[in-house]
């Protein structure tokens, strides 16, 4: 069993110490399912990247924006949203900890 809130707090502390303002840890890697806690300090981002075949972002603390094709969706603490199926970035408006759930390596 994993205490996700404790893990998020640990990585938020690491992100605050990091020159890049980020810290992450994959805590579930089961078949095609991945879950990771990602911590970002205010003003930092996960730059533009491709999306997994399916995924969601659940904000544990703080507030982030998912930015894609000139649009952004704000997601606050306690909220979850699907990840766009296009290139996107995630930007932290304040110190934030999120859970990224993704499904990878799906055979079509």
Torsion-angle region of residue 74: left (phi > 0), alpha (psi -120 to 50) or beta? beta
Q: What is the pLDDT of residue 41?
A: 97
Domain assignment of residue 89, given as a range:
4-103
Neighbours of 62 (CB within 10 A): 21
State how many domains the chain has. 1
Note whether residue 66 is domain-resident. yes
Q: What is the pLDDT of residue 106?
A: 65
Note whether residue 41 is domain-resident. yes
Please tell me which of 44-48, 72-76, 83-87 the model is most confident about, judged by mean pLDDT: 72-76
pLDDT bin (cut points 50, 70, 90) of residue 28 is: very high
Q: What is the pTM of this model?
A: 0.90
Q: What is the pLDDT of residue 79?
A: 97
Note whether residue 108 is domain-resident. no
- Interior angle at CA 11, CA 60 and CA 15, nearest 5: 105
Please state the rounded mean pLDDT for residues 37-44: 97
The H or E element that residue 16 is part of is helix 4-17
Residue 19 half-sphere exposure toward CB, CA atoms < 13 A: 0
- Are the C-beta atoms of 96 and 63 separated by less than 8 Å? yes
């Amino acid at each position: 069993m994993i205490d996700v809130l404790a893990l998020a707090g640990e990585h938020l502390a690491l992100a605050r110490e990091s020159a890049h303002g980020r810290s992450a840890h994959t805590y579930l890697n089961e078949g095609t399912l991945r879950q990771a806690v990602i911590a970002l300090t205010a003003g930092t981002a996960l730059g533009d990247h491709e999306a997994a075949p399916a995924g969601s972002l659940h904000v544990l603390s703080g507030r982030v924006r998912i930015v894609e094709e000139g649009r952004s969706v704000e997601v606050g603490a306690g909220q979850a949203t699907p990840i766009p199926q296009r290139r996107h970035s995630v930007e932290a408006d304040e110190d934030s900890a999120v859970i990224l759930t993704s499904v990878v390596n799906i055979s079509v």
